[in-house]
Structure 1
Amino acid sequence: MTKSIFSDRYQHFRKLLVNARNKAGLSQTQLAEKINKRQTFISKYEIGERRIDVVELIEIAEALNIDPCEIIVELKKVKA
Protein backbone atom coordinates (compact mmCIF):
# COMPACT_ATOMS: atom_id res chain seq x y z
CA MET A 1 0.00 0.00 0.00
CA THR A 2 1.31 3.42 -0.98
CA LYS A 3 1.63 6.00 1.77
CA SER A 4 -1.51 8.10 1.58
CA ILE A 5 0.37 11.35 1.04
CA PHE A 6 1.67 9.96 -2.28
CA SER A 7 -1.60 8.47 -3.46
CA ASP A 8 -3.70 9.87 -6.29
CA ARG A 9 -6.50 10.41 -3.80
CA TYR A 10 -4.32 12.54 -1.52
CA GLN A 11 -3.02 14.54 -4.47
CA HIS A 12 -6.62 15.24 -5.45
CA PHE A 13 -7.40 16.16 -1.83
CA ARG A 14 -4.67 18.79 -1.87
CA LYS A 15 -5.97 20.20 -5.15
CA LEU A 16 -9.49 20.41 -3.75
CA LEU A 17 -8.24 22.40 -0.77
CA VAL A 18 -6.18 24.75 -2.91
CA ASN A 19 -9.13 25.29 -5.25
CA ALA A 20 -11.46 25.95 -2.32
CA ARG A 21 -9.04 28.51 -0.87
CA ASN A 22 -8.70 30.24 -4.22
CA LYS A 23 -12.48 30.20 -4.75
CA ALA A 24 -12.88 31.81 -1.32
CA GLY A 25 -10.52 34.56 -2.50
CA LEU A 26 -8.05 33.96 0.31
CA SER A 27 -4.28 33.91 0.24
CA GLN A 28 -2.41 31.32 2.27
CA THR A 29 -1.65 34.03 4.83
CA GLN A 30 -5.29 35.08 5.13
CA LEU A 31 -6.44 31.48 5.61
CA ALA A 32 -3.71 30.88 8.16
CA GLU A 33 -4.86 33.91 10.14
CA LYS A 34 -8.44 32.62 10.13
CA ILE A 35 -7.39 29.30 11.67
CA ASN A 36 -4.67 30.73 13.94
CA LYS A 37 -1.80 29.00 12.16
CA ARG A 38 1.28 30.21 10.34
CA GLN A 39 1.28 30.62 6.57
CA THR A 40 3.83 27.81 6.36
CA PHE A 41 1.22 25.40 7.77
CA ILE A 42 -1.00 26.12 4.76
CA SER A 43 1.90 25.98 2.32
CA LYS A 44 3.17 22.66 3.64
CA TYR A 45 -0.13 20.82 3.34
CA GLU A 46 -0.84 22.38 -0.05
CA ILE A 47 2.46 21.15 -1.50
CA GLY A 48 2.27 17.78 0.24
CA GLU A 49 4.97 18.19 2.86
CA ARG A 50 2.47 17.85 5.67
CA ARG A 51 -0.66 15.80 6.16
CA ILE A 52 -3.73 17.22 7.80
CA ASP A 53 -6.03 15.31 10.09
CA VAL A 54 -9.81 15.34 10.16
CA VAL A 55 -9.99 18.01 12.88
CA GLU A 56 -7.74 20.29 10.85
CA LEU A 57 -9.85 19.59 7.76
CA ILE A 58 -12.96 20.72 9.62
CA GLU A 59 -11.23 23.92 10.79
CA ILE A 60 -10.00 24.69 7.28
CA ALA A 61 -13.40 23.95 5.75
CA GLU A 62 -15.15 26.21 8.25
CA ALA A 63 -12.70 29.02 7.47
CA LEU A 64 -13.42 28.53 3.76
CA ASN A 65 -17.19 28.31 4.30
CA ILE A 66 -17.39 24.87 2.73
CA ASP A 67 -18.78 21.58 3.97
CA PRO A 68 -15.93 19.14 4.69
CA CYS A 69 -18.27 16.30 3.71
CA GLU A 70 -18.26 17.62 0.14
CA ILE A 71 -14.50 17.14 0.01
CA ILE A 72 -14.87 13.58 1.27
CA VAL A 73 -17.57 12.83 -1.30
CA GLU A 74 -15.27 14.11 -4.05
CA LEU A 75 -12.39 12.00 -2.74
CA LYS A 76 -14.52 8.87 -2.80
CA LYS A 77 -14.83 9.35 -6.57
CA VAL A 78 -11.06 8.95 -7.00
CA LYS A 79 -9.92 5.38 -7.40
CA ALA A 80 -7.76 4.33 -4.45
Structure 2
Amino acid sequence: MLPSIHHPRYVVLRTHLRALRRAAGLTQTQLAERLSIDQSYLSKIERGERYVDILLYLDWCRHCGIEPNHAVSELIDAGV
Protein backbone atom coordinates (compact mmCIF):
# COMPACT_ATOMS: atom_id res chain seq x y z
CA MET A 1 0.00 0.00 0.00
CA LEU A 2 1.29 3.44 -0.92
CA PRO A 3 1.74 6.02 1.82
CA SER A 4 -0.46 9.08 1.70
CA ILE A 5 0.28 11.47 -1.11
CA HIS A 6 0.68 14.07 1.65
CA HIS A 7 3.47 12.10 3.34
CA PRO A 8 6.55 14.31 3.92
CA ARG A 9 8.60 12.24 1.48
CA TYR A 10 6.13 12.97 -1.32
CA VAL A 11 6.23 16.66 -0.42
CA VAL A 12 10.01 16.57 -0.92
CA LEU A 13 9.57 14.70 -4.22
CA ARG A 14 7.03 17.23 -5.51
CA THR A 15 9.26 20.14 -4.51
CA HIS A 16 12.16 18.43 -6.26
CA LEU A 17 10.17 17.88 -9.47
CA ARG A 18 8.99 21.49 -9.57
CA ALA A 19 12.55 22.72 -8.96
CA LEU A 20 13.88 20.56 -11.81
CA ARG A 21 11.30 21.96 -14.20
CA ARG A 22 11.94 25.55 -13.18
CA ALA A 23 15.74 25.16 -13.29
CA ALA A 24 15.35 23.88 -16.85
CA GLY A 25 13.41 27.04 -17.70
CA LEU A 26 10.33 25.06 -18.71
CA THR A 27 6.71 25.94 -18.16
CA GLN A 28 4.29 23.24 -17.13
CA THR A 29 2.87 23.29 -20.64
CA GLN A 30 6.28 22.84 -22.27
CA LEU A 31 7.27 19.95 -20.03
CA ALA A 32 3.86 18.31 -20.35
CA GLU A 33 4.19 18.38 -24.14
CA ARG A 34 7.61 16.74 -23.94
CA LEU A 35 6.24 14.09 -21.59
CA SER A 36 3.12 13.54 -23.73
CA ILE A 37 0.81 14.23 -20.80
CA ASP A 38 -1.77 16.92 -20.18
CA GLN A 39 -0.60 20.10 -18.49
CA SER A 40 -3.37 19.64 -15.94
CA TYR A 41 -1.96 16.22 -14.98
CA LEU A 42 1.52 17.67 -14.54
CA SER A 43 0.05 20.44 -12.41
CA LYS A 44 -1.75 17.89 -10.23
CA ILE A 45 1.53 16.04 -9.69
CA GLU A 46 3.24 19.25 -8.60
CA ARG A 47 0.31 20.17 -6.33
CA GLY A 48 0.22 16.76 -4.69
CA GLU A 49 -3.01 15.51 -6.20
CA ARG A 50 -1.45 12.69 -8.25
CA TYR A 51 1.37 10.22 -7.76
CA VAL A 52 4.30 10.11 -10.16
CA ASP A 53 5.55 6.70 -11.24
CA ILE A 54 9.19 5.84 -11.80
CA LEU A 55 8.99 5.88 -15.61
CA LEU A 56 7.48 9.36 -15.65
CA TYR A 57 10.08 10.47 -13.09
CA LEU A 58 12.92 9.24 -15.31
CA ASP A 59 11.50 11.03 -18.35
CA TRP A 60 10.84 14.18 -16.29
CA CYS A 61 14.50 14.29 -15.24
CA ARG A 62 15.81 13.71 -18.75
CA HIS A 63 13.56 16.37 -20.28
CA CYS A 64 14.79 18.80 -17.63
CA GLY A 65 18.39 18.07 -18.62
CA ILE A 66 19.47 16.09 -15.57
CA GLU A 67 20.54 12.48 -15.43
CA PRO A 68 18.12 10.51 -13.28
CA ASN A 69 20.91 9.01 -11.15
CA HIS A 70 21.99 12.53 -10.13
CA ALA A 71 18.40 13.51 -9.41
CA VAL A 72 17.90 10.42 -7.24
CA SER A 73 21.08 11.27 -5.32
CA GLU A 74 19.64 14.71 -4.63
CA LEU A 75 16.44 13.12 -3.33
CA ILE A 76 18.36 10.77 -1.06
CA ASP A 77 20.40 13.70 0.28
CA ALA A 78 17.11 15.51 0.95
CA GLY A 79 15.90 12.62 3.08
CA VAL A 80 13.62 10.77 0.71
TM-score, reference length from structure 2 = 0.85
Q: Deviation string for 1:32-78 (max 9, x for gaps)?
A: 11111110111010001000111110111111111222232222234
* Cα separation, 2, equivalents of 1:63 and 1:77: 22
Partner of 1:58: 58
Matched residue, 2:30: 30
What CA deviation, in whole Å up to 9, does each residue of 1:3-59 have, x standing for no partner? 252221110111011011011111000001111111011101000100011111011
Residue 14 of structure 1 contacts residue 48 of structure 1 at CA under 8 Å; is this kept in 2? yes
The 5-angstrom pairing of residues 42-53 of structure 1 reads 42-53=42-53
Root mean square deviation of aligned Cα:
1.8
CA distance in 2 between partners of 1:14 and 1:40 (Å): 15
Aligned residues: 79
TM-score (norm 1): 0.85
- Identity across matched positions, percent: 35
The alpha-carbon distance between structure 1 residues 66 and 7, as it changes in their structure 2 partners (threshold 3 A), is same
